Amino acid sequence: MLTLYHAPTSVCSQKVRVGLAIIGLEYDSRVLNLQKGDQFDPDYMRLNRDAVVPTLVDGELVITESSLILEYIDREYNGAALMPAERAAKVAAQSWLLRCLAVHAAINTLSFSTAMRESILASQTPEQIEALAAKFPDPVMGAKRKDLLQNGLGSIYVGQALVHLHRALADMDAALAGGPWLGGEAPGISDIALIAYIDRLERLGMAGLWAGFPRIAPWLAAWRETPAYHTAIEAHVPAGSAEMMRAGGSKYWPEVQKRWQEISG
């Protein structure tokens, strides 16, 4: 059986769980508490040297990047049914999988510069934050986390995040002109790869980011009606946490909106 190391509200964990649910694959669930630092446990880091989630184990094979995991389970256990067969559509889907690296970085930036920043600053001392940053195997990622927590929306990473998100939302909206899903008439691998990120933005109180992209909201609403969304995302969100995150993030929306309008022209 497949073994999945994941965290309840990790966006990358969510997107893999959605893929597993869509395909109908069972797995042995190993939940990590990221707030307690389970990802830095030496046993886990032998599987994933970057100390991130998710990690999928299939026999002797260990797969550690969420988009790669999606492509793997679709190819090996689903006959690649979620990946378009037509050449141009397949390249477009593969492009989205690659772009998820930048999209994920942007979501991470907005999360830790707004709502999640508040809760961390309220519960950890500067010394604890410094110690956490030092634990990151990638020193740049540690420096980024510290900068986001110290400077919030004043962080140098926020401008980059908004640029990448604007491009992604614009391209999603254009692609959805061809049908209700990026995959056509049913959710495909691109839709699965992106749902957790768009869902997180809404949970951060940032749905105004797609006010100028009218096809995003219906796409998100359609996802939220699917069994896969409820199984893989909604069911893992602790009671009350969504409301707290939305309330916390919404306080930052006026400043984010001002910067977004500057990017949008």
| Top-tier CATH class for 2-77 | alpha beta
Residue limits of CATH 3.40.30.10 in the chain: 2-77
Residue limits of CATH 1.20.1050.10 in the chain: 87-264
3-state secondary structure of 108: helix
Tokens 């999945």 — which residue?
A: 4
Q: Provide the whole-model pTM.
A: 0.96
End-to-end CA distance of the chain: 51
CB atoms within 10 A of CB 72: 17
Within its chain, how far is the Cα of 258 from the centroid? 24
| Top-tier CATH class for 87-264 | mainly alpha
Is pLDDT at 264 greater than 90 in this prediction? no
pLDDT tens-place string over residues 128-186: 999 989 999 999 999 999 999 999 999 999 999 999 999 999 999 999 999 999 988 99
pLDDT tens-place string over residues 222-238: 999 999 999 999 999 98
Task: Give the pairing of strands 55-58 and 2-6.
Answer: antiparallel
